[in-house]
Amino acid sequence: MDSKQKVAVVTGCSSGIGHEISLILARNGFTTYATMRNLQKGSDLKSIAEDEKLPLHFTQLDVTDENSVKRAIQTIYDEAGRIDLLVNNAGYGLTGAFEDLSIDEIKTQYETNVFGLIRTTQAVLPIMRKQRSGLIVNISSGAGRFGFPTGSAYVSTKFAVEGLTESMSYEVEPFGIKVILIEPGMIKTNFFNSSVLAKKSKDPNSPYAPLMTGMNDNLTKLLDNASTPQYVAEVVFNAVTSGSPKLRYLAGKDVEQLIEAKKKMSDEDFVNMMKQM
C-alpha cells in the first residue's frame, strides 16, 4: 500500500501501540485518524502532531458503543472521501484464574476485544468493498496462538480474533480487501498497568492466590526484556506497505521463540515448557 493520499483509521490511540502506529503512519504520509474513547487522553499525541505538522486527525470513537462507531466512521468517510486502512488496536487485558472471573467481567472483556473489533470492521467493510480496495489490520497477540495461566479471558478473546480474521480473509479478498494479523509478544507499554484484575483474584484467600503471585513475579521479569511499542508499529508499517502482505506477523523476539518452539514440540512438551517458565 502506497501511503500517498491513503486514509488510515486507528483505534485505541491514547497510548502504547496505537499511539505509535498512528504516528508512524502519519509520519510516512498517511492521512491518519487517531481514534480513542476519551479525546482528552490524546493530548501528548496532539502536541507531537502539531509540532511535526503531521496529517494526523483526532476522532472520538468508543468501540463498545455501536452508535459511536457508526458516527465516527461516517464522519471520517464524509471528510476524507475514502478509508484505505483500518487498524483495530483497542483492547485491554483481564487477569485472573478462570474460576475467580465473574461472567460480567468476561463479557466486558469480550465487549472491547472482540465485539469492538467486529463493530469497527463491519462499519468499514462496505466502504472498502465499494472502493474495491482496503487493508484491515487486527492487533492480536502471541496469546492468540497459545494459552497461559491467569489469562483465560484475554487469551480466549485473541483466539477469537485469530479465527475471525482468518475466516473473514477468504470472504473479502475477492473485493480487493486484505486482512492482516499482528501478534505482539510482551511489550513495554502501560498495558499491564491498565489491565483489570478480577475482583475475586484480589482476595488473598483465593485458592489461586499463590498462582497469581507467581505469575506477577514472572511477568515483571519478562517485561525487562520486552519489545517496545515502536517495534510493533514498525512491524505494522512494514506489513501494510509490503507489496503482498502475509496473514500473520509476529512482533517480538519472545513470541517468535515460543511459536518456533511450539512448531517443533508436541502439545505435551510445550505445556511442560510453559509450566517451567
Write the single-letter amino acid at 215.
Answer: M
Residue 154: active-site member? yes
Which residues, including other chains, have CB under 8 Å from residue 81's CB and lie 6 or more apart?
A: 7
DSSP 124-180: HHHHHHHHT-EEEEEE--GGGTS--TT-HHHHHHHHHHHHHHHHHHHHHGGGTEEEE
Q: In whole angstroms, give the CA distance from residue 181 to residue 136.
A: 9
Q: Would you call 109 exposed, middle or buried from its count of C-beta atoms within 10 A (0-12, 13-18, 19+)?
A: buried
Q: In whole angstroms, give the CA distance from residue 253 to residue 118.
A: 29
Three state DSSP letters for 91-111: CCCEECCHHHCCHHHHHHHHH
C-alpha cell at 95: 487477569
154, 208, 231, 249: which is the annotated catalytic residue?
Answer: 154
- Whether the Cβ atoms of residue 154 and residue 109 lie closer than 8 Å to each other: yes
Residue in 86, 170, 79, 166 with CA at minimum distance from that of residue 126: 86
The DSSP secondary-structure symbol of 206 reads S
State the virtual CA torsion across 259, 260, 261, 265 in degrees, nearest 10. Answer: 100
C-alpha cell at 273: 515448557
Catalytic residue IDs: 154
